[in-house]
Amino acid sequence: NSYELRVKGKVVEAPPKELELLNCLAPTPTVFTPATSCWTRCGALSTTAQRTIDVHVKRLREKLAGASDKWELKTVWGVGYKFEVRQ
């Protein structure tokens, strides 16, 4: 029913859209593009909405900065975003 974002054991305030995006991106190495179901659920059907998703991703990166050196939220230029686990 609800999500909570914790970074290094502390609760970090994040709006529902950011949490929904993180929930879409984190479990899979798939690149999420505007055509994927994750983006559709987040309302990214228009160019304006896609820019809104870009802002949410930027804010998520700021909130997750320094949380781990084992993963990152990556931009795949011209395609979309993915959650990448480093080997």
Q: How far is CA 53 from CA 8, 68, 69, 82, in A?
A: 25, 23, 24, 13
Q: Reduced to 3 states, what is the DSSP secondary structure of residue 10?
A: strand
Note the pLDDT of residue 83: 82
Give the pTM.
Answer: 0.70
Interval 54-85: pLDDT, tens: 888 899 899 988 888 888 888 888 888 888 88
Interval 1-50: pLDDT, tens: 677 888 888 899 988 888 888 887 777 767 766 656 565 555 555 555 67
**Helix (H) / strand (E) containing 40:** helix 37-41
